[in-house]
Amino acid sequence: MKHNKYLYKIRFLLISICILASLIGCQKMDEDEEKEIQIGVVVYDEYDTFLSGLMESFMNGVSEESKNGRRITVKRYSANGSQITENEQVEEMIEKGCNVICVNLVDRTDPTMIIECARKADVPVIFFNRELVEKDLQSWNKLYYVGADALESGIMQGEIAANIWQSDSSYDRNGDHMLQYVVLEGEAGHQDSIVRSEYSVQTLVDQGITVDKCESSIANWKRGQAQTKMGQLIHKYGESIELVLCNNDDMALGAIDEYVAQQISKEKRPIIVGIDGTSVGLQAVIDGDLQGTVYNDKEGQADAMLHLAIAAVTGKNFDQLPYFDGKYIRFPYVRITENNIHDYIIEE
Ligand code: GAL
Ligand code: CA
Question: How confident is the prediction for the chain on average, in pLDDT?
Answer: 92
Looking at the CA of residue 247, tell me the nearest atom of ligand 1. 8
Stretch 79-86: mean pLDDT: 98
51 lines ligand 1 (CB under 6 A): yes
Residue 346 has pLDDT above 70, yes or no: no
Ligand 1 binding pocket mutation candidate from 44, 249, 251, 276 (most atoms within 8 A of CB): 276
Q: Nearest CA to 98 among 159, 179, 37, 189?
A: 37
Enumerate the β-bridge partners of residue 294: 335
Using most ligand atoms within 8 A of CB, pick from 47, 50, 273 the residue to mutate for ligand 1: 50
Question: What mean pLDDT is predicted for residues 311-327?
Answer: 97
Instruction: Answer whether 94's CB lies under 8 Å from 101's CB.
Output: yes
What local confidence, expressed as pLDDT, does residue 25 receive? 46
pLDDT band for position 20 (50/70/90)? very low
pLDDT at 8 over 80: no
277 CA → ligand 2 middle, Å:
28
pLDDT at 11: 56
pLDDT tens for 221-243 read 999 999 999 999 999 999 999 99
Ligand whose nearest atom lies closest to the CA of 175: 2
Confidence category of residue 5, pLDDT binned at 50, 70, 90: low
Q: Name which residue sits closest to atom 12 of ligand 1, judged by CA.
A: 130
With left for phi above 0 and alpha for psi between -120 and 50, is residue 69 left, alpha or beta? Answer: left
pLDDT at residue 19 greater than cutoff 50 = no
Residue 14 has pLDDT above 50, yes or no: no
Q: Is the per-residue pLDDT at 16 higher than 70?
A: no
The H or E element spanning position 169 is none
Q: How far apart are CA 221 and CA 137, in angstroms?
A: 25
pLDDT of residue 293: 98
Supply the pLDDT for residue 255.
98
**pLDDT at residue 2, rounded to an integer:** 46
The string of pLDDT tens digits covering residues 277-314 is 999 999 999 999 999 999 999 999 999 999 999 999 99
Sheet of 328-331: strand order equals: 72-78, 37-43, 100-103, 125-128, 143-148, 328-331
pTM score, two decimals?
Answer: 0.89
Q: Is the CB of 196 under 6 A from ligand 1?
A: no
Mutate to test the pocket of ligand 1, among 191, 192, 290 (most ligand atoms within 8 A of CB): 192
In the chain, % of residues over pLDDT 70: 89
Please give all residues whose CB falls under 5 A of ion ligand 2, grouped by chain where several chains appear. 172, 174, 176, 178, 180
